[in-house]
Structures are given as structure tokens and as C-alpha cells.
A and B are shown apart, each in its own frame.
Chain A
């Protein structure tokens, strides 16, 4: 059974439609990336999963239970780091960590100390004086030092510096190794590529893509740049070749640059080989390209966007 199983989820605020039939499934033990532009509905989804918002339609299951009705029981088994961490200004970071840990039913003191050390957080400072990154660290330490089986992290590194981001990645890797499930909403693609087993990309309250990174990469294009002995005329006609630029080169050859869909890669390479390859560089598709394609275009037009 999946840890999170959301299907056809709908939620409106007045006339604003925040979620418009969203699907999301997170399997046990995986780190699941949850991607989408600002306002796509990531935080709304998370807030429905936490039982803070009541959905208007569709189903949402969390750890086998109903997040609205069984909120208290389910919260015992999860820990949450909000995207915008606001804390009580007069409490210190250490007090907040302890409070959240005790409400959760206990805190691993050794782990607390170790995490404070790794995140270089001073627990004696009042949270009023913390920067955004430090407030985020408070929530992260509290979540990571808990014994929760599911971690819901909403853009947990958006305020952290690159060093602390690296610390977070180590921690997330350790959590995965120890069998915890993580739902990671993020904007940082390198982080998602490094950490996540599967990703779900949403846009305007709807899921536009979901699957493992390997699966998703099939949907994207490889960029190819080659110097050829002769012009490769067939490329222009080949379906699945985009943004073709061909310049004549010295000695009757040509220089070619283009983007090739995964399923046309074989045909394109055959044409290149036939024309005589002198040099060849190819870049694998990155999540970033996938991301940009889905972000920049309307969901329906995503497949044919240039």
C-alpha cells in the first residue's frame, strides 16, 4: 500500500481553483520529488494531506488513513517542515525543537545534538533573531530528530546556503537508507535529481508528469552537436528533430546542432553516421529541461512546444 495516494483531488478558495484533479502517489521508502511552478498547488496539496484544509473532491489517503478525519493519529507518524517557517518570536530555537519533539511523543536527544551540530544552529537564540534559513533549520532538526516514518518537506532548502544544502542532502540520504519515506517539494532541480527516486510534476493544480527520473528522461530530448564529413540532409525531414542548425564547414563537410526526442535518437544517429562523423558531443536530457518545458508552456501544449 502506498504511503500517499491522492487521486482527482480538488480544492477551490472562493473562485480561485487551487487543485483541479491532482494525482500523487508516493511509495513506501522512496524519496518523491514534488515539482511545480509557484502557485501550482504544491503547498495546498500538502495542507490537505495534513488535514488543515478540507478537499472539495477526489480522494486523499495518507498512511492508509483519512487525513481530515484521522489527523491526530496520522500526525504521530509523520513530521512536517513548512515552506515558510514562522516560529514564536520569544522562544529559542532549542525550545521550539523540544516542544515539537515532545508533542510528537519524544525526541532522540543524541540525534538532536548531532543535527544541531551538523546544521551549525545556535539553539539559545530567540527565533525572532533567526534568518529564514535558520528558522528552516529549526523545523528540519525537529523533523529529522523525530521518529516519524514519513517526512513531508515543503521546499526545505529554499533559505539554506549551499553548504547547508549539502548537509540536508546527506541527511535525506540517511533517512532514505533507514527506510523513511520523504515527500520533497522543491524548486532546486539538482537536489531533486540527486535525491529523488520518482517525481511528480504539477501545473495549475493538475499532475502533468509522474514517474521515475529514468522514465521521465525518455520524454525529453538529447542535444547533439556534430561535425560531419558531408551534409546530413535527411535530418530536416526526420520527425523528432528540433532546433536544427546546419552550417557548411571546411572541406565540403557541415556542422550540425539539434535537439532530438528520445525515440528519434536512433534514426538521427544513423543519418549522422551515414554522413561521416568527425566529432560528436551529446548532452543527456536534464530535469531542468523537462521542468522548463512544463513550466513555460500550457499543460496541453507541453508535448509540442519548441
Chain B
């Protein structure tokens, strides 16, 4: 007779095979992305930091630079490997974590919510098999990332032991988020909610290690050790190769899996641990128009994003305060006037880089909000609205309006956060808040210009709208992150709308590029909507 444990896992192998088949496009795409990051680490930096002198000066500046520590972590050496690990390992782990989150929730809560697990569960499949197979899919992806990343780093000429440590730290750190996602999938009753919980956890981990890495002087470095992203940094590949640190992710993965399995036993099929409360039996006044419905459907995610932008902005702002103080106390800048000028230039450059990053992240929100329109169509929830006396443009416009205004709200929240964080710390909140809200809002047209691609495809080639929207986003991200490092031609850099936004604060404000980016958004969206008017509405 088979033991109880074996029975609750029966069918895991079949489910895993099936899941890997379903992921035959998505999983390789993620792995490819992660390996590309490693390739950049291996090859890209060779060009930039050719000389030992250049590397040493970078190491020295990172040591003093709180902003760089916040964004990338601390640099533990001046070898090429150490710089690659500093620049790319934490972000690689972050991306590996995102991969794990998406994979695990896709095969657990999303399938359960869609009712597919019920069908599967009625066959000879154990209660824990779906969770186990989701974890195995994440493990398979992480193993592939580990093998390919170590190979790529070794081939690029970095030391073999360090390369293996780097790849293992990234894969193990990412897999911790698979376990966290498994827990989130038990807590929330919806895939959207579970993804939100897991990604929030990931964001908190990023902030913890950011504050820990940049706040060493204030006795905050222990925060790094609370974050799986920090653990990956602390392996210190190519310099110390501290293998024992890997015990932390290993223990967290094991503990998280046990907790998720235990929670799964406490809940019913289809339900989360969070029970939905009864709602209103009668609709509020707002729910009387397509716009009211779009607001109602999107306000939750909008609030979440805006809160994230505010929190992220506060953290960025607080770090900017330290930036000025640090330089102020360092030797080498003698004259008071020079010092103030240099401080302000450095802080402005940092804040401008951060607002540009915010604009890019806001584009991700804008794309999801625009694609919501397509989801309404494929889910079939657009049909009851369009069967009412509501024109297609009104229906589509309601979602596009929320996308456009929401992006602005988010950027304003981010700017407000930076302004408050920086302004309160430096007692200049009155001037910093409007200045930084303006800087953040300058990114608005660029973020919308990216989302316009999604709107265009929703109208003209709806089947391609999701890949097209995210490809546009990925291209801008690639240009933003790697453009300067790879010394890409200006013509290529110009593809990204973010290239054209004035660098604020610090730079000079020019309205011209913002006007034509806005015009681009409006015209491209209008072309898409003209397509929407003349095509079939349906699930095809």
C-alpha cells in the first residue's frame, strides 16, 4: 500500500510534463532574458572597464556613493567579475524571482481560478500534486538558468568558481520567490491578487537590500540579510565566493514550500485563505457608465501601483539626502561653492536617473491598463457592455482614459514621494515637492507613447497585442539599461521615447519633445481605435 504522502503527490510527473509543454514558449523566453543579462555581465563590461585603473576608481566611487549602492548594492572588489556581479547579479536574481512568481502562480492559483485544476483534480491526481509540479517547473527553469549562466560567464573569460557561485546565487535567490509565490497562491483567492502579493514581497525585498546596502553607516546593513536579493549579493562571487550564504535561500525555499503545503491543507478547492466579504447588493452611483465601470475595475491595481510609486519615491528621496551629506564630508572638494555645485549636480543626476526609471515602470502600468481592454474582450465581459447602447469607442475610450490618467497619477505619486523623502530630509520640502512632481510628470508622455503601441495592436491585430505591447516595453528597457553601456548609435537610442524626455531635475525643461510624444500617443491610439471600430469583436 502506498503511503499517504505518496498518494497526495500522485500525478505530479504528468502534471509537470504537461506544464512544461504549456510553457514551451514562455519558459525559454524567460531563460533567454536571464542569460542575456549574464552575457551583458560577461562581455558588456569588458568594453567599459578595460583598465585596472578604471575599475579601481569605480570601486572607490561606489564605496562612497549611496545612490549606486541603493540601486546596485555594494561592490566588493575591483576585478571584472566583481563588477559584473555588482552590476547584474541582484537584478538577475530579481528577474529570476519574477520568472518564478509568474510560473508558480500560473500553474497553481491561475489554473484553480479558471477551474482547470478542478478538472485535473477529479482525475487520479493528488491534492499536493499541482503545487509540487509548479515548484518543479520553477526548479527546472532555475536549473536551466544556473547551467546556462555559469557556462556563459566561464566562456566570457571569468573565473570558473566565481561563475558557478554567481549562477547558483542567482538561481537559488530566484527560487525563494517561487516558494513565496506558492504561499501567496494559498492566501489569495485570485491569480491577480496572488501575483500582487508575491510581487509586493519582491519589491519589499528590493527596498530592504537597497536601504541595507546604502545605509551601512547608519547601522542598517542587517536589512540586507532579510532579503533574498541581499543573500545573492552576499555570496560575493568572484571575490569571496561565500558558499555558506547559499544555505539561507536553500532553507527559505524548503521552509516556504512546507508552509505553502500546510496552508493548502487548510483551505477548500477554489478558495483562498482570505475569504471574500459580501459586497453591495445595489450599485453605487459611480457604476452608471462605461467610465465608471472601467474605474471600478482598474482602481484596485491603480491604488496598488500608486502606493508602490509613493513608497519607492520616498526611498529614492531619502537616499538622495545621504548623497549630498556624504560628498560634503569627503575630502577633495575644497571650496565651499564648488562643493555645493558638485553636490547639487550629483543629486540632480541621481534624481533624474530615478525619475526616468519611474517613467519606464509607469509605462508597464500603462501597458497593462491598455491591455485590460483586450482582456475584457477575450474574457467575454466586453460583450454585455457592447450589447447595451454603448459604442465601441466609448467602451474602449473608458479603459484608455483610466490608463492615461492612471499613469499620470502614478508618476505624480512617485514625484511626490521623492520630493517628500528628499525635501523633508534636507528641509526643502516646499520647493522639492513641486520640482520633483514636475520632473516625474515629464515622463508621462513617454510612458504613454510606449502604451500607444499596445493600443494600436488591440485595434488592428488584437491577437498580437500582448506580445507587441511588452516587446515595445522590452525594447525601451533594453535601450535604457544597455544603450549607454553598449554605446549604441544615437539612431537606436532615439527609438525609445525616454531618450527624448528632458533630464529633470537638473536639466532644462523643453516642452517640444513632450508635445510630439503626446501627439504620437494620440495619433497612434486613434489609428488603433479606427481599427477597433471596423473589426469583429470576439474571443478570436
5 A-B pairs whose Cβ atoms sit less than 8 Å apart in the complex: A90-B296, A90-B297, A103-B288, A103-B289, A124-B278
Known contacts A103-B288, A128-B276; can you find 9 more A-B pairs with CB under 8 A? A50-B386, A53-B538, A75-B388, A80-B384, A86-B383, A91-B287, A102-B288, A122-B281, A124-B278
Contact, CB under 8 Å: B276 / A126? yes
- Give Cα A199 to B285, complex, Å: 42
**B residues with CB within 8 A of A:** 189-190, 276, 278-284, 287-290, 292-293, 296-297, 300, 379-381, 383-391, 534-538, 540
- Residues of A within 8 Å of B391, CB to CB, are 71-72
Q: Which 8 A-B pairs have the closest CB atoms?
A: A98-B283, A92-B279, A86-B380, A103-B388, A123-B281, A95-B283, A94-B281, A80-B387
- Residues of B within 8 Å of A122, CB to CB, are 281
Contact, CB under 8 Å: A91 / B279? yes
| Chain B residue at minimum C-beta to C-beta distance from A84 | B380
Among A47, A96, A98, A103, the one with the most B-chain Cβ atoms within 10 Å of its Cβ is A103
| Chain B residue at minimum C-beta to C-beta distance from A13 | B540
| Chain B residue at minimum C-beta to C-beta distance from A94 | B281
Contact, CB under 8 Å: B276 / A75? no
**A residues with CB within 8 A of B:** 13, 47, 50-54, 71-73, 75-76, 78-80, 82, 84-92, 94-100, 102-105, 122-126, 128-129, 139
- Give Cα A52 to B538, complex, Å: 7
Among B282, B288, B387, B388, the one with the most A-chain Cβ atoms within 10 Å of its Cβ is B387
Contact, CB under 8 Å: A99 / B389? no
Cross-interface CB contact of B534 among A54, A78, A96, A100, cutoff 8 Å? A54
Contact, CB under 8 Å: B384 / A139? yes
- Residues of B within 8 Å of A78, CB to CB, are 387
| Chain A residue at minimum C-beta to C-beta distance from B379 | A86
Cross-interface CB contact of A98 among B190, B278, B287, B388, cutoff 8 Å? B287
Q: A54-B534, A54-B536, A88-B381 are in contact. Are A124 and B387 (CB under 8 A)?
A: no
Cross-interface CB contact of B280 among A88, A95, A139, cutoff 8 Å? A95
- Give Cα A47 to B386, complex, Å: 11
Q: A84-B380, A90-B297, A95-B283 are in contact. Are A75 and B536 (CB under 8 A)?
A: no
The smallest C-beta distance from A85 to any residue of chain B, in angstroms, reads: 8
Contact, CB under 8 Å: A47 / B538? yes
- Residues of A within 8 Å of B535, CB to CB, are 54
The smallest C-beta distance from B449 to any residue of chain A, in angstroms, reads: 29
- Residues of B within 8 Å of A125, CB to CB, are 278-279
Q: A53-B536, A88-B381, A103-B290 are in contact. Are A123 and B389 (CB under 8 A)?
A: no
| Chain B residue at minimum C-beta to C-beta distance from A76 | B389
Contact, CB under 8 Å: B388 / A129? no
Contact, CB under 8 Å: A98 / B282? yes
Cross-interface CB contact of B296 among A91, A102, A128, cutoff 8 Å? A91
- Residues of A within 8 Å of B278, CB to CB, are 92, 124-126
- Residues of A within 8 Å of B287, CB to CB, are 91, 95, 98-99, 102
Contact, CB under 8 Å: B387 / A75? yes
The smallest C-beta distance from A302 to any residue of chain B, in angstroms, reads: 30
- Give Cα A104 to B384, complex, Å: 11
- Give Cα A79 to B388, complex, Å: 7
Contact, CB under 8 Å: A100 / B384? yes
Among B279, B282, B386, B388, the one with the most A-chain Cβ atoms within 10 Å of its Cβ is B388
- Residues of B within 8 Å of A124, CB to CB, are 278-281
- Give Cα A103 to B383, complex, Å: 13
- Residues of B within 8 Å of A129, CB to CB, are 276
- Residues of B within 8 Å of A86, CB to CB, are 379-381, 383
- Give Cα A76 to B388, complex, Å: 7
- Residues of A within 8 Å of B276, CB to CB, are 126, 128-129
Contact, CB under 8 Å: B536 / A72? no
Cross-interface CB contact of A52 among B280, B296, B383, cutoff 8 Å? B383
- Give Cα A97 to B388, complex, Å: 12
Cross-interface CB contact of B293 among A47, A71, A99, cutoff 8 Å? A99
Cross-interface CB contact of B537 among A53, A96, A102, A128, cutoff 8 Å? A53
- Residues of B within 8 Å of A80, CB to CB, are 384, 387
- Residues of A within 8 Å of B297, CB to CB, are 88, 90
Contact, CB under 8 Å: B389 / A94? no
- Residues of B within 8 Å of A73, CB to CB, are 389
